[in-house]
Chains A and B, each alone.
Chain A
Amino acid sequence: IGLPTNSAQECQNLEVERQRRLERIKQKQSQLQELILQQIAFKNLVQRNRQTEQQANRSPPPNSIIHLPFIIVNTSKKTVIDCSISNDKFEYLFNFDSMFEIHDDIEVLKRMGMACGLEVGKCSPEDLKVARSLVPKALEPYVIEMAKGPISNVYITGSSSANG
């Protein structure tokens, strides 16, 4: 270690580096959380549909279901929608005269409760049990953390804490 002035400069550099990494980790954690949610929601959906089909002893009529992936656009019934479509149906143009919302299918699955309430950190012990059973062991610490509530701080799962 060199002169104090150099050390001071180095400390500052390290401080910046540390902050940068913390930010990136935070962002990657939420990315991972979203992937975990998607995995849980999709597995739950498939399980539910399989059970329903087994109980009914048949598949639902094709025109009563919508396969993933899809996107939802919702708006007030009062909204006037002007729609132009190309002949081959490759291009669409919608004009709304009022506000609308766009949601992806995962959002729908979340609203259906398929993510076990993990998306808002509201998870009953029963929900948590289900959620944990739907992910590989390595992801369980994250699921447990998500069940406690929305995560605001960076947390690091050490190797010692992953003993579930």
Chain B
Amino acid sequence: RVDAALVSRHKELQREVCDLTEAEEQLDELISKCNLQLRLLTEEPHNKKLGYVRCQDLKKSFDSPDQLVMVIRAPPETQMQVSEPSKGYQVSLKSTRGPIDVFLCPEDSSGVC
């Protein structure tokens, strides 16, 4: 006694899993392509030169007059550790490949960081 409904359910599920597998493979491929594109894009010398924000952009992005904005520029692979809020508000930075730059976004309108 074979349950016809169960058999057709089984078939349907098999097809769905198959479709999902294909969809996931497609996604994997797109993601790795996208990663590569982004890397090439940001490493291209001209783009690298033009890949900057102005101090006034930063100020506008955090436009509460009450906010202090600190900029951190660190070499790749720098480790950042943030303490648990219950243990105080602490941030540590550790670089192995060069010095870290930290500066404040200027208060005045000179636009100079």
Q: A residues bordering B, Cβ < 8 Å?
A: 1, 4, 7-8, 10-11, 14-15, 17-18, 21-22, 24-25, 28-29, 31-32, 35-36, 38-39, 42-43, 45-46, 49-50, 53, 60-61, 63-79, 83, 88-100, 102, 105, 108-109, 111-112, 136, 138-139, 142, 156-157
Least CB separation from B82: chain A residue: A102
**B92 and A111 within 8 A (CB):** no
Range for the number of chain B residues in contact with chain A:
35 or more
**B20 and A25 within 8 A (CB):** yes
Residues in chain B near residue A71, CB distance under 8 A = 71-74, 80
Q: Measured between C-beta atoms, what is the minimum distance from B66 to chain A in Å?
A: 6
Q: Measured between C-beta atoms, what is the minimum distance from A99 to chain B in Å?
A: 6
Residues in chain B near residue A139, CB distance under 8 A = 30, 34
Q: Which of B1-36 contact A (CB under 8 A)?
A: 1-3, 6-7, 9-10, 13-14, 16-17, 19-21, 23-24, 26-28, 30-31, 33-35
A112→B6 CA distance, assembly (Å)? 55
Q: B residues bordering A, Cβ < 8 Å?
A: 1-3, 6-7, 9-10, 13-14, 16-17, 19-21, 23-24, 26-28, 30-31, 33-35, 37-38, 41-42, 47-48, 50-55, 57-58, 60-62, 66-74, 80, 82, 85, 88-96, 98-102, 111-113
Partner of A98, one of B60, B89, B95, B98: B89
